[in-house]
Structure 1
């Protein structure tokens, strides 16, 4: 019975770690989606900008003029990177959810076993 209690504690702690990891991964995905939306908005602005329009980039406290092609390339590269990171984060979330579900099932089975054992001791 003591061994079951120890195992129950271990499973509960593992499940809590999965939940913490899941929360962190979801927050990371939300940050990435926010960055993606910002960069898509910038990309949209670039498309509405005329050929003679100027683009400035904030570097520290200074605005520096930037070539339009270079700016487009930078934003496109960022969007590509963010897209890959979102896919990687989604895969991580799925992996965490699967691990969490397995621990949850193990925990439920152990609890049922302990309840049956307690009932048998009470009836015996």
Structure 2
């Protein structure tokens, strides 16, 4: 194998590894985003249920194996804060995934270009 085509092959392999690593990272982040979306929906549902309760209703929070009475307004505030936090995390996750999608696209283009260059170099031998 010629030095030029060997160097191209090495570049192609490195770019391919980088592309695959980016894809794996993207999949992990997408899975985390799905979990966050589920948590957000669950907490919104809990807040909706808490908002249906009147001042005479009692709210309990599970601490380990024990149910502890909690103030209704405090429960609403806690769930509201959780929703706010999860929403921020979700927004950040979405931005990261958008950036990664662009990077993956660049890696894909580079891999295709290097494959074409390698094929030309090998065919010219």
Post-superposition offset of 1:120: 1.7
Residue 22 in 1 paired to residue 3 in 2? no
The total of aligned residue pairs comes to 121
Runs (4 or more) in structure 1 with deviation over 4 Å come to none
Residues of 1 paired with 2:104 and 2:54: CA distance? 52
Structure 2 unmatched runs, 5+: none
Post-superposition offset of 1:110: 0.6
Post-superposition offset of 1:95: 1.0
Corresponding position of 1:116:
120
TM-score, scaled to structure 1: 0.94
Structure 1 unmatched runs, 5+: none
2:15 is matched with which residue: 11, 16, 40? Answer: 11
Residues of 2 paired with 1:74 and 1:52: CA distance? 19
1:50 is matched with which residue: 39, 48, 54? Answer: 54
Residues of 2 paired with 1:23 and 1:120: CA distance? 39
Residues of 2 paired with 1:44 and 1:86: CA distance? 20
- Cα RMSD of the aligned pairs, angstroms, is 0.8
Residues of 1 paired with 2:105 and 2:45: CA distance? 38
Deviation per CA, 1:30-85: give whole Å up to 9, x if none.
00000001101100101111111111001111110001111011000000000000
